[in-house]
Amino acid sequence: MPDIFSPAERSELMSKIHGKETKPEITVRKYLFSKGFRYRKNDKRYPGRPDIVLPKYRTAVFVNGCFWHGHEGCRAAGLPGTRREFWKKKIEANKQRDERKRRQLIDSGWKVITVWQCELKNKQERNERLKKLKDEITDSLSETPVPSSPKFKYRLISPPFKQSMGGLSH
């Protein structure tokens, strides 16, 4: 199916898509705040710059758009009709980067939760997903291993991850 927009119009539309402050992100943050959670937004000290970081729970939350992050089995994740090879390569690179950053966080003792845009579309699914998210976060207190080295002995909240050092900062 040919694109209904000219290349210039498509470029203009695509330039208006931003990675922060998306409607799904705001929905998740408002819910968490209303339930008493306090968090950091898009903290660049952590791999992948998670949308929401909950240090108290050692949990990072990514709110992913189904198209941009290649959500498997989701209708919204289908490739456009034009420039399919370009989009396939781009989305695949995004998925590989997501997995790499996710693994870095997990290897550092963090719980990583992904909320997909399609899970927030209709009211019933959104309410179920947000309740499940709350449970996943609070369950993380008992599941997430806390580093046992003496330097963590008296800390309730561990310091942020520093990519340049390849581990937790000191």
The pLDDT tens digits for 50-81 are 999 999 999 999 999 999 999 999 999 988 88
User: Is 2 domain-assigned?
Assistant: no
Please check whether residue 122 is in contact with residue 130, taking contact to mean a CB–CB distance below 8 angstroms: no
pLDDT at 14 over 70: no
Residue 8 lies in a domain: no
Q: Tell me, yes or no, whether 9 lies in a domain.
A: no
Whether residue 35 lies inside any domain: the answer is yes
CATH number, residue 118? 3.40.960.10
What pLDDT, on a 0 to 100 scale, did the predictor assign at position 24? 95
Q: Could you give the number of structural domains in the chain? A: 1
Give the domain extent around 140. Answer: 16-168
Q: With H, G, I as helix, E, B as strand and everything else as coil, classify residue 12.
A: helix
Task: Give the residue, 158 or 43, on which the prediction is more confident.
Answer: 43
Residue 7 lies in a domain: no
Q: Is residue 5 part of a domain?
A: no
List, for residues 140-151, the tens digit of each pLDDT value.
565 544 444 334
Higher pLDDT, 2 or 94: 94
Contact 51, 25 (CB under 8 A): yes
In this prediction, residue 139 has a pLDDT band, given cuts at 50, 70 and 90, of: confident
Burial of 133 by CB count in 10 Å (0-12 exposed, 13-18 middle, 19+ buried)? buried
Strand partners, 56: none
